[in-house]
């Protein structure tokens, strides 16, 4: 009987338990064929402050902690030398969940033994020119890699035009969603509305989930909603610099609008189930376009209809399970929302299509299997 192949996956994101879902699902899906170890920083300085590695006794993956230095900078942080031991002890393949142009990506590529295949994952969906030493780091990591994974179709298309990428095996694999945590739950949605002071029954709720920043299209919704000729309510869940403007706008609409901040991840499915449609009117800028749209697949999993713009990766994420509208054009959003709010049948159809897409394409076991299948392809190609 052959021993299981040893896979080591490295990421600063693994400092957060929830972000180890991919590693854990690869361990579960690959049980008997793969022995999976996740290497994570023991501490890391996140956007909101220091993070300390938390262990979950129910995890399927082997979890190893290593120091991380200069972690206030995602581009400039590095792992401690202890990471080398985890990359060289009978390892069959190393999976690097760091961008190839950052110093930690270069470090892992340098420390992975020459005979061990390296596969990296990337979110880079914009054509960029990096300054030294990041440009040199990217070139080295791409040359060293045996393959790469794009977290989006637009990511894959963008990177194929960059030197070296086309010569390596690659695969577009989407980000996953927990379809058990995110699921249709009418009671949870009703309770969430009631906690906001809304009656359980009333006009349909138009929802937004995400950062309160201009590029997420909040101003479009603030323009489109008052033009609706059918009754509506609006629920904005998130936080960010536009909160003050959003609350000022909400005051003009009285009981119709709720702005909710500080919602923990465990409560996000409840907030989504309180919505009759999720709107994601993201707007492309010279320095940004939507990379994936996690809120879209979370809404799909909860059976919530989705309206979204055509920014970046969104059309590929939504497919035929939601409605794609032109970014930045509020009249189209007003017209489409009126049609949806007046049609329970259309809402029911979109809800069913979204849930089916979440289960068949974005469920974590599906995503994990796609990773393992690609790793096997890389190993067979090397052999």
Contacts of 314 (CB under 8 A, 6+ apart): 280, 282, 290, 293, 296, 308, 324
What gap in Å lies between CA 367 and CA 365, rounded to an integer? Answer: 5
216-245: buried (b, 16+ CB within 10 Å) or exposed (e) per residue? bbbbbbbebbeebeeebbbbbbbbeebeee
CATH 3.40.50.2000-classified regions of the chain: 5-176+363-382, 186-361
Residue 291 banded pLDDT, cuts 50, 70, 90: confident
Contacts of 229 (CB under 8 A, 6+ apart): 338
What letter does residue 102 receive in the DSSP assignment? S
Q: Could you give the maximum distance between any two Cα atoms of the chain, in Å?
A: 70
What letter does residue 363 receive in the DSSP assignment? B
Q: What pLDDT is recorded for position 200?
A: 77
User: Distance between the two ends of the chain, CA-based, in angstroms?
Assistant: 19
Residue 304 banded pLDDT, cuts 50, 70, 90: very high
What gap in Å lies between CA 176 and CA 361, rounded to an integer? Answer: 8
Q: What pLDDT is recorded for position 383?
A: 65
Q: Quick one: average pLDDT of 45-64?
A: 88
Contacts of 134 (CB under 8 A, 6+ apart): 75, 101, 102, 103
Mean pLDDT of the chain: 95
Q: Quick one: average pLDDT of 118-146?
A: 94
Q: Quick one: average pLDDT of 294-307?
A: 97
Q: Which CATH superfamily is domain 186-361 in?
A: Glycogen Phosphorylase B; (3.40.50.2000)
What gap in Å lies between CA 145 and CA 159, rounded to an integer? Answer: 14
Q: What pLDDT is recorded for position 362?
A: 97
What gap in Å lies between CA 103 and CA 109, rounded to an integer? Answer: 10
Q: For the segment 71-120, what is each residue's pLDDT rounded down to a tens digit?
A: 888 999 999 999 999 998 899 999 999 999 999 999 999 999 999 999 99
The CATH number of 5-176+363-382, from 3.40.50.2300, 3.40.225.10, 2.40.110.10, 3.40.50.2000, is: 3.40.50.2000
Q: What pLDDT is recorded for position 48?
A: 61
Q: Quick one: average pLDDT of 264-290?
A: 95
Q: What pLDDT is recorded for position 50?
A: 86
Q: Give this prediction's pTM.
A: 0.92
**DSSP H or E segment with residue 194:** helix 186-195
Percentage above 90 pLDDT, the chain: 90
- The neighbouring-strand residues paired with 207 are 235, 278
Q: Quick one: average pLDDT of 247-269?
A: 95
């Amino acid at each position: 009987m052959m021993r299981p192949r040893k896979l080591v996956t490295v990421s600063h994101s693994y400092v957060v338990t929830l972000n180890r879902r991919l590693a854990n699902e690869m361990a579960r899906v690959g049980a008997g064929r793969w022995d999976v170890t996740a290497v994570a920083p023991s501490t890391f300085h996140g956007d909101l402050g220091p993070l300390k590695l938390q262990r979950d006794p129910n995890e399927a993956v082997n979890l190893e902690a290593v120091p991380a230095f200069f972690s206030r900078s995602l581009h400039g942080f590095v792992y401690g030398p202890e990471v080398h031991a985890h990359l060289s002890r009978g390892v069959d393949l190393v999976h690097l969940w760091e961008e190839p142009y950052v110093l930690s990506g270069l470090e892992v590529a340098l420390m992975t033994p020459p005979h061990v295949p390296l596969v990296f994952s990337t979110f880079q969906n914009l054509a960029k020119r990096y300054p030294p030493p990041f440009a040199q780091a990217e070139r080295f990591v791409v040359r060293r890699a045996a393959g790469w994974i794009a977290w989006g179709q637009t990511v894959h298309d963008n990177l194929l035009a960059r030197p070296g990428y086309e010569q390596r095996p690659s695969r577009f694999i989407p980000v996953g969603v927990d379809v058990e945590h995110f699921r249709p739950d009418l009671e949870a949605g009703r309770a969430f509305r009631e906690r906001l002071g809304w009656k359980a029954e009333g006009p349909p709720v138009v929802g937004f989930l995400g950062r309160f920043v201009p590029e997420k299209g909040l101003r479009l919704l603030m323009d489109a909603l008052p033009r609706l000729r059918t009754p509506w309510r609006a629920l904005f869940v998130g936080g960010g610099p536009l909160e003050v403007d959003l609350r000022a706008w909400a005051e003009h609409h009285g009981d119709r609008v709720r702005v909710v901040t500080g919602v923990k991840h465990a409560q996000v499915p409840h907030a989504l189930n309180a919505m009759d449609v999720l709107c994601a009117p993201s707007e492309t800028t010279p320095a940004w376009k939507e990379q994936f749209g996690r809120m879209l697949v979370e809404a799909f999993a909860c059976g919530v209809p989705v309206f979204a713009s055509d920014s970046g990766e969104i059309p590929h994420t939504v497919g035929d399970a939601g409605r794609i509208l032109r970014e930045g054009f509020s009249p189209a959003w007003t017209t489409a929302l009126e049609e949806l709010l007046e049609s329970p049948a259309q809402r029911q159809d979109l809800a069913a299509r979204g849930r089916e897409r979440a289960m068949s394409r974005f469920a974590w076991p599906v995503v994990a299997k796609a990773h393992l299948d690609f790793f096997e392809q890389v190993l067979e190609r090397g052999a």
